[in-house]
Structure 1
Amino acid sequence: MPDAKPNRRQLIAAAAVLPMLTIPRIVRAAEPDLSGLSDMTKGMAPTGQAERNQRIARAQSLMKAQGIGAVLVEAGSSLTYFTGVRWGRSERLTCVVIPVEGTPCIVTPFFEEPSVRETLGITADVRVWQEDEDPLALVAGFLRDRKLSAQPIGIEETVRYFAVNGLARALPGARIVSANPVVRGCRGIKTAAEIALMQLATDVTIAAYRWTYPRIEKGMTNGNVGALMNAATRQLGGSPEFALVLIGEAAAYPHGSKKPQVVADGQIVLMDCGCTVQGYQSDVSRTFVFGSATARQRIVWDQVARGQQVAFAAARIGATAGSVDDAVRRYYASIGYGPDYKLPGLSHRTGHGIGMDGHEPVNLVRGETTRLAAGMCFSNEPGLYIPGGFGVRLEDCFHMTDAGPQWFSRPPSSIDAPFG
């Protein structure tokens, strides 16, 4: 029969011993030795007012060309891009109105003004609203003051409905249009300073991978591996954005499975990881085998590696973004995958834009007619997925130059040497 229940005195005695016996082991397991890693981001200058002024000037030039009188951008990466203000979204509107000429206007709650000014990186007219007031009335007032209320007002594509609807109420008869030609026109073409930050973020991610890879052990869960990667990333100076680890069959599904996953001999390990450095992101995927790879695993890995090179070769100045995706699908169809987005094969786009956001317009996807230009940045990740079996994804980002694409991270040469 089971033991009798312990009495209260026995429970207290046991509890007194537990911290000495259990907690140190947990702490040691959760905190790997990171002493060999150092911050790679020290000394990197943050984005300054001069660069932000150039962004505002570029936006105003595009507004003139498009016949737009002003652009409304609310809290998020585009607000940070133009103004430096780092602010989260809530039911209380904080936004910037960029006029076609002159100084932008920040609209924010009265009690938030001191906090907003802490990261404000441009000269701006700051207008505040009280809790019983309508912030869109302030926006409308600014537009009237600048004599812009009769001109088209561009709305950044992520602005929420309540703000657009509120502006329409506060400014009856306003012509509201998309600000994509302006905001995408600015953010889609990275400057040398932006590319340098993205390069640094990528370098941090690759260094974290190289530290993590030899420390992966049999029996680890995907969560254990991701925790190692994130710990290394932080020590190297990056802010982890994601550390997706897919093991075995889970790798056959691009964003994984909730089923338990454990590192084991002969199993595919697919890692998709990225970080942020001063607001700019990296995105790098690697696939390898714990132990010895099978012939089938090697074949599929080599096919994906070739797919990456096909995409890279197709990414030429003036080519449409969709043509890069088309080239990869033609290659995969020629060796028996697909066709199109069917499985086994490549079920997602070949790549996405990247910058301050991990996924930005435009995408390397069928039908995308935007033409590639110097300064555009993309992921290149034409994975192959075999449901019920495994998947392989290799992902490296590149930026366009006048001479063609240039890698942020170089693709690996072999399944046996995933990090060079």
Structure 2
Amino acid sequence: MRDDTLSDHRRRRFLRGSLAAGAVALPLLGQSGGALAADGQGDAPTLPASIRALQPVAQRVVPISVDERVQRLARAQALMDQQRIDAVFIGAGTSLAYFTGMHWWNSERLTGVILPRTGEPVYVTPAFERSRTLEQIKLGSDVRGWQEDEDPYALVAQVLRGFGAASGTVGIEETVPFFRSRGIMNALPHATFVDAWPVTAGCRRIKSAAELALMRLANQTTLAVYEAVWKALAPGMTEDDIAALVTLAYARTGLRGSADVNIGPAAASPHGSDAPQRLTEGTPVIFDGGCRADGYTSDMTRTVVLGKAGDDVRRVFDVVLKAQTSALQAARPGVAMEALDAAARKVIVDAGYGPDYTYFSHRLGHGIGMDMHEWDYLVRGNTRLLEPGMTFSNEPGIYLPGRFGVRLEDILHITADGAELLTPQSPSIDQPFG
């Protein structure tokens, strides 16, 4: 479920977890007052055996090939032809990485790529960044630089005129900041500007075999990390102790990842709480997060308990698992996306946790790929039809205010004749990893 637009407390947790991946992590944990014990060799606590047992997986990452990026450009150009778009501007972000292999931060200095309806892409970047741009790009080689005292939008307009778009139709990728879109529009006043999402989403929402392999690896790694951390839980741990263990576990695999952790009443809110939390036996714990493999992300939620779960927790878990299964069974090409939400919600409401959004307070799922939240959404009112190659989170939950919450999340892949999950479901609260 975790949204890429992290709240402040999530950013703080991410930074604390990132520290745990470095050499200073274990001493920091030892000073935190949590339940991780020192091993007698200085002040660093012992890494739990279950985490030490994790194996590296980074060597199994197969990057997206240049040939596939060429196919992506061809697909984008076919969509541009259908939409009568002469060229598309894409700025820093995941769509830039998707088409070109180039990873760039958004800043006040314009960097981006212009995809024409025909021909090779053209990159626009600060002149002092030209060599770094050439190092990164996997598609094309035409990189044009602008000096610090020059107008970058005039350079973009010049490129667009070269593609015959001076009075044509230009698409702007949907995450480009407004000030940048305005700058391009002002520099090319006779052009018509449109949202480029039919092109970007039209390409990215359908995953290739190579993309699915990366997503499957990332999700399987997350599952292994969660199981290792579950086996390492001990009474008295804080949510930050547990989140740091998750980050340490990912470091063993060679992939970078993190998780939000919420315990007991804090788990009764889908995105948790800033309130201090400490683990006790019988209390539900929710892990929610993921890792990346060549830019493709996992997103998984598991609800676990240290020790024996109470009957109330067991009942809620079983209902949520049944709801997740119902959505999986409803998924196949040609079905409206809203039908999956309806299938899961009916199970939860029929079990007495209703009506409607009362206890299952969010949509069933979101698209996923290079971004943790992508097109489209499994929610009431979305009548778009499922297609083979689409991927979504399947994450029903029940949240009981002041008590606890249960959510289960796996990634759903629409196949040619049905659907699959990229990881096995959590079978029970007693054996959450089978």
With the length of structure 2 as denominator, give the TM-score of the two structures: 0.88
Q: Identify the residue that residue 139 of structure 2 maps to in structure 1.
A: 122
Matched, 1:291 2:322: no
Q: Identify the residue that residue 107 of structure 1 maps to in structure 2.
A: 124
Residue 281 of structure 1, aligned match among 297, 304, 307: 297
Q: Identify the residue that residue 358 of structure 1 maps to in structure 2.
A: 372
Matched, 1:164 2:144: no
* CA spacing shift, 1:181–1:29, aligned 2, 3 Å: same
Q: Identify the residue that residue 167 of structure 2 maps to in structure 1.
A: 150
Q: Identify the residue that residue 22 of structure 2 maps to in structure 1.
A: none
Q: Where does 1:160-199 land on structure 2 (aligned, <5 Å)?
A: 160-199=177-216
Q: Identify the residue that residue 5 of structure 2 maps to in structure 1.
A: none
Q: Where does 1:360-399 land on structure 2 (aligned, <5 Å)?
A: 360-399=374-413
Q: Identify the residue that residue 259 of structure 2 maps to in structure 1.
A: 243
> Which has the bigger relative contact order, CA under 8 A and spacing at least 6?
2
**Which deviates more, 186-195 or 258-267?**
258-267
Q: Identify the residue that residue 16 of structure 2 maps to in structure 1.
A: none
SS of the equivalent of 1:301 reads helix
SS of the equivalent of 1:415 reads coil
CA offsets 1:127-148 (integer angstroms, 9 cap, x no match): 1111111111111101111212
SS of the equivalent of 2:45 reads helix
Asked whether the 8 Å contact 2:62–2:214 carries over to 1, the reply is no
SS of the equivalent of 2:79 reads helix
SS of the equivalent of 1:263 reads coil
Q: Where does 1:15-414 land on structure 2 (aligned, <5 Å)?
A: 27-29=43-45, 35-240=52-257, 242-342=258-358, 345-414=359-428
Structure 2: where are the runs of 5+ without partners?
1-29, 32-37
Asked whether the 8 Å contact 2:260–2:289 carries over to 1, the reply is yes
What letter is aligned with 2:372?
Answer: G
Q: Identify the residue that residue 5 of structure 1 maps to in structure 2.
A: none
Return the offset for 1:45.
Answer: 2.4
Return the offset for 1:43.
Answer: 4.2
Return the offset for 1:284.
Answer: 1.1
Provide the rounded CA distance (Å) in 2 between the counterparts of 1:197 and 1:333. Answer: 35
Asked whether the 8 Å contact 1:377–1:399 carries over to 2, the reply is yes
* CA spacing shift, 1:249–1:152, aligned 2, 3 Å: same
Asked whether the 8 Å contact 1:397–1:407 carries over to 2, the reply is yes
* CA spacing shift, 1:217–1:145, aligned 2, 3 Å: same
Asked whether the 8 Å contact 1:41–1:200 carries over to 2, the reply is no
Q: Identify the residue that residue 9 of structure 1 maps to in structure 2.
A: none
Provide the rounded CA distance (Å) in 2 between the counterparts of 1:96 and 1:159. Answer: 12
Provide the rounded CA distance (Å) in 1 between the counterparts of 2:201 and 2:109. Answer: 25
Return the offset for 1:338.
Answer: 2.5
Return the offset for 1:32.
Answer: 5.3
Q: Identify the residue that residue 17 of structure 1 maps to in structure 2.
A: none
What letter is aligned with 1:156?
Answer: E
Asked whether the 8 Å contact 1:201–1:280 carries over to 2, the reply is yes
Asked whether the 8 Å contact 2:122–2:140 carries over to 1, the reply is no
Provide the rounded CA distance (Å) in 2 between the counterparts of 1:243 and 1:143. Answer: 43
* CA spacing shift, 1:399–1:291, aligned 2, 3 Å: same
Return the offset for 1:386.
Answer: 0.6
Asked whether the 8 Å contact 1:85–1:117 carries over to 2, the reply is no
Provide the rounded CA distance (Å) in 2 between the counterparts of 1:281 and 1:272. Answer: 13
Return the offset for 1:25.
Answer: 6.7
Return the offset for 1:37.
Answer: 2.6
Provide the rounded CA distance (Å) in 2 between the counterparts of 1:311 and 1:216. Answer: 31
What letter is aligned with 1:139?
Answer: V
Provide the rounded CA distance (Å) in 2 between the counterparts of 1:31 and 1:126. Answer: 48
Provide the rounded CA distance (Å) in 1 between the counterparts of 2:396 and 2:44. Answer: 39
Return the offset for 1:26.
Answer: 7.0
Between the two proteins, the alignment pairs up a number of residues equal to 397
SS of the equivalent of 1:28 reads coil
* CA spacing shift, 1:50–1:128, aligned 2, 3 Å: same
Provide the rounded CA distance (Å) in 2 between the counterparts of 1:30 and 1:281. Answer: 29
Return the offset for 1:335.
Answer: 2.1
Asked whether the 8 Å contact 1:76–1:89 carries over to 2, the reply is yes
Q: Percent identity?
A: 47
Return the offset for 1:111.
Answer: 0.6
CA offsets 1:81-109 (integer angstroms, 9 cap, x no match): 00011111111111111000000111100
Provide the rounded CA distance (Å) in 2 between the counterparts of 1:155 and 1:327. Answer: 36
Q: Identify the residue that residue 17 of structure 2 maps to in structure 1.
A: none
Provide the rounded CA distance (Å) in 2 between the counterparts of 1:29 and 1:75. Answer: 41
When the two chains are superposed, the root-mean-square deviation of aligned CA atoms in Å is 1.7
Following TM superposition, the consecutive aligned residue runs of length 4 or more in structure 1 with deviations greater than 6 angstroms are: 21-26
Provide the rounded CA distance (Å) in 2 between the counterparts of 1:36 and 1:416. Answer: 22
Structure 1: where are the runs of 5+ without partners?
1-20
Q: Identify the residue that residue 24 of structure 2 maps to in structure 1.
A: none
Return the offset for 1:273.
Answer: 2.3
SS of the equivalent of 1:59 reads helix
Provide the rounded CA distance (Å) in 2 between the counterparts of 1:196 and 1:359. Answer: 18
What letter is aligned with 1:374?
Answer: P
What letter is aligned with 2:319?
Answer: Q
Return the offset for 1:237.
Answer: 2.0
Return the offset for 1:315.
Answer: 1.4
Pair member with larger Rg: 1
Asked whether the 8 Å contact 2:61–2:293 carries over to 1, the reply is no
